[in-house]
Structure 1
Amino acid sequence: MTAVHTVLGPLAPWLARRGPVLAHEHLVLDLSRPDDRAAVLDTDRDAPAVVRELTSLREEFSLALVIELTCRGMGRDIAALARISRASGVPVVAATGWYHQGFHPPEVAGAGVEQLTGTLVREITEGADGTGIRPGVIGEIGTGGAQPTEAEARVLRAAAGAALATGLSVVTHARRGQGGRAQLDLLTGAGLPPYRVCLGHQDLLDDPAAHRALAAEGAYVAFDTIGKARYRPDADRLRLLLALLEAGHAHRVLLSGDVSRRAYLQAAGGPGYGHLLRGFLDQVRAAGVDEPLIDLMTRRNPLRFLTGTEAEA
């Protein structure tokens, strides 16, 4: 395996073998809008609580890595991620890309695929936001519906081009789980192998057949909103996950909680970053899933995904 690029430098994958990986989280972001001012994880106000949670998970579960998917236009602060990583002792992978069209910065409008690809490649090879810190993943590349808009399609093609040029993998945002098939078709149509694609938020889509089809094609299927009861109860997520495992696709599953606003932090009474490890996985175990499969989903899969390694069958 090649090294994983974290905000504190390259991390040999064997160093992350001691514990689980959170495959889709946010540590700092700003998705606030006039009708929703609370979609924020603030660098100053919230960072101490984030550090406490990550430190606790490192001490209790040997948390090995966090894949942080706040990209351009989402309030990304890579320097803050480095401070959080250093303070908590947990390696963090930063991201580059663009979210769905409602959050595209002005740079996307009118820019061609080649220009957008160049922007991503420069960040990946030279560092982002003047920090010299290199993103280690492309995402979360967003679409807001079953089919991407014209601008979202350009961004997806740019993500594929940058992934092919740099060796990084691509994580998508599929709103409410919709649009994963269109995302995968567009990315693979641009030449990106499916095992370098993670389709986001599939636990919000109650369609086991769709999950099976995406996994069978070779893409990673993310159950990454675990604990977000306002969207779906975890009992539904467990049912959908077990169906995917029973179909033989454990090697295509990634798990996380997608903490994306202050209200989800433990300090604010939310499930926090540890809900997957402290709560949901106990339900998975109680359903009969053994430790090797849990290790596959929470450690081996995300490491192979990040390093662009073909997944085991």
Structure 2
Amino acid sequence: MAARTGWRQRWRSGQSGSTPTTSSILPFPSVGSARRVLAGTSVRRASTGSANPKASSSRFRRADSVDSVQSVTGPIAPAQLGVTLPHEHVYINMTRTTPQDGYLNVADEIATELDLFVAAGGSTLIDMTNGELSDYAAPIGWSNDQRAMQQNPDTGSRSVANVLSTKQMSERTGVQIILGTGHYYGKYLDANWFDRNSTNKIADYLVQDLMDEIPGTGVRAGVIGEIASDLSHISALEERSFRAAARASRETGAMVSTHAATFPTGLAQLEIMEEEGVDPSRVVIGHADTVKSVDYSLELLKRGAFVEFDCLMTCRVGGEIVRPQIDRRIAYLQAVIEAGYAERILLSQDICARSNLRTLGGPGYTFVLQEFRAIAVEAGIDPDILRSISTDNPRAAVFGA
């Protein structure tokens, strides 16, 4: 509750204008304070503040960990997390970049996939669909209200339809689903929206999603992500998104999960996080397996971040295992384990297209727990380490020290 009070206080004392509420910020109806008191995220704050002088002067306080994390159906304690996929999507719209295969929006198909995940021993999925990827990312015909289907035009939050349909999917399948909040990359970003909002204000919206509600839903995000850059450099807009994410993490203790595909830009992403006073242990650098050098992953690990090999959706295509893709990732995994970083690796599939579904020939949500694990054990990786990577490591990343 202290963090929520701090957010309200900042608007009163740190910015001009009146204190915003859900109803005054947004075109969507508020669900009222009764639904906002879904059991709260309890924050453990560092007693010494930030070692970064610039970050220390920020109005944002520093929080290094949390005692519980919010799922779409309520809070989860560390012992309840179980076998976890740390970077996935339930409903998503990526048609701006993959128009032929960029929708996940067929509820029965997704329910079947999640049922397979549960049958394989899975418990929790972290859904990294951010504001931009939530546009019309809900089952076909879910709502005739275009406002509910679209990314929130004021706060940049996920669409109401995306959040509530994801909650329904969690209730239907029993999978614990934790939502991310934040912004994607380059061509997905609305430059006019960024022009209208300061970096601190964008951070405030993220804090609102985490500590109050994703507007109009009564549901709170549990982590920050995926925060994205997609080229060999970080653009000015993307840098502002990363800085806002860092400030929201310092305020709430929430984990930050990033998108850094193909190019080794996770190093620059981590540098921004550190400049803003975020402990590297609260940062997960995503898609590290798409960078064709294990030295990149080792450098990130050396600097204290979590490294995520999460593009395993490329390892099963058309119902067939793609050995070059999986063999390279297993070689990377062996290298980082041998270097002593087994406790800081995360594995996921990043299901983000219909062709990724197992029933359509892709890996589905079970590949990490089934084929990948079997091939990794055959290659000599300790099965106990693999089990820990899917249980202990996500718990450490989500909840912190």
What does residue 53 of structure 1 align with?
113
Query: Offset at 1:177?
Result: 4.5
Query: Given the two structures, how large is their TM-score scaled by the length of structure 1?
Result: 0.92
Correspondences of 1:62-81 after superposition (within 5 Å): 63-75=122-134, 76=158, 77-81=162-166
Q: Unaligned regions of 5+ residues in structure 1, if any?
A: none
2:330 to 223, 238, 247: 238
Match of 2:264?
A: 178
Q: Is the 1:5–1:135 contact (alpha carbons within 8 Å) kept by the matching residues of 2? A: yes
- 1:204-262 deviations in whole A, cap 9, x for unaligned? 11211111111011100000011314897111111111111111111110100000011
Deviation at 1:48, TM superposition (A): 1.3
Cα 1:41–1:182 change in 2 (3 A) is same
Query: How far is the alpha carbon of 1:104 from its aligned partner?
Result: 1.4
Q: Name the aligned partner's letter for residue 101 of structure 1.
A: G
SS at the partner of 2:133? Answer: coil
After TM superposition, give the deviation of residue 35 of structure 1 in Å. Answer: 6.3
Q: CA–CA distance in 2 between the matches of 1:78 and 1:260?
A: 16
Of 274, 284, 290 in structure 1, the residue corresponding to residue 376 of structure 2 is 284
* Structure 2 Cα separation of the partners of residues 275 and 60 of structure 1: 10
Which residue number corresponds to residue 227 of structure 1? 313
Shift of 1:56: 2.1
Contact kept in structure 2, 1:224 and 1:256, CA below 8 Å? yes
Deviates more, 1:23-32 or 1:270-279: 270-279
Partner of 1:29: 92
- Within 2, Cα distance between the matches of 1:133 and 1:300? 26
1:201 aligns with 2:293: no
C-alpha separation between the residues in 1 aligned to 2:109 and 2:77? 28
Q: Does the 8 A contact of 1:160 with 1:190 survive in 2?
A: yes
Counterpart-to-counterpart distance in 2, 1:139 and 1:87: 24
The answer (yes or no) to whether the contact 1:227–1:233 under 8 Å persists in 2 is no
CA separation of 1:54/1:177 partners in 2, compared to 1, >3 Å: closer, same or farther?
A: farther
**Equivalent residue in structure 1 for 2:181, among 93, 96, 108:** 96
Alignment of 1:5-154 (within 5 A): 5-17=70-82, 20-33=83-96, 36-42=99-105, 46-61=106-121, 63-75=122-134, 76=158, 77-105=162-190, 106-154=192-240
Q: Tell me what 2:351 maps to.
A: 259
Task: Give the secondary structure class of the aligned counterpart of 2:116.
Answer: helix
Q: Judging changes above 3 Å, is the alpha-carbon distance between structure 1 residues 35 and 88 closer, same or farther for their aligned structure 2 residues?
A: closer
Cα RMSD of the aligned pairs, angstroms, is 1.7
Residue type of the partner of 1:152? E
Secondary structure of 2:125's aligned partner: strand
Question: Structure 2 CA distance, aligned partners of 1:146 and 1:191?
Answer: 24
The CA distance in 2 between the partners of 1:250 and 1:226, in whole Å, is 18
- Give yes or no for the alignment of 1:159 onto 2:245: yes
Counterpart contact for 2:261–2:291, Cα < 8 Å: no
Query: Aligned partners of 1:198 and 1:147: how far apart in 2?
Result: 18
**Partners in 1 of 2:263 and 2:343 — Cα distance?**
20
Distance 1:240 1:110 in 2: 43
Contact in 2 for aligned 1:177/1:203 (Cα 8 Å): no
TM-score of the pair, normalised by structure 2: 0.73
Secondary structure in structure 1 of the residue aligned to 2:257 = strand
Partner of 1:215: 301
Bigger Cα Rg: 2
Once residues 102 and 37 of structure 1 are traced to their aligned partners in structure 2, the CA distance between those partners, rounded to angstroms, is 17
Task: Work out whether residues 177 and 201 of structure 1, in 8 Å CA contact, stay in contact via their aligned partners in 2.
Answer: no
- Aligned partners of 1:103 and 1:12: how far apart in 2? 34
Deviations 1:163-198 (A, max 9, x none): 011110100000225301000001111100000000
Q: Secondary structure at the match of 1:302?
A: helix
Segment drifting more, 25-34 vs 80-89? 25-34
Structure 2 gaps, min length 5: 1-65, 135-157
Between the aligned partners of 2:176 and 2:68, the Cα distance in structure 1 is 13
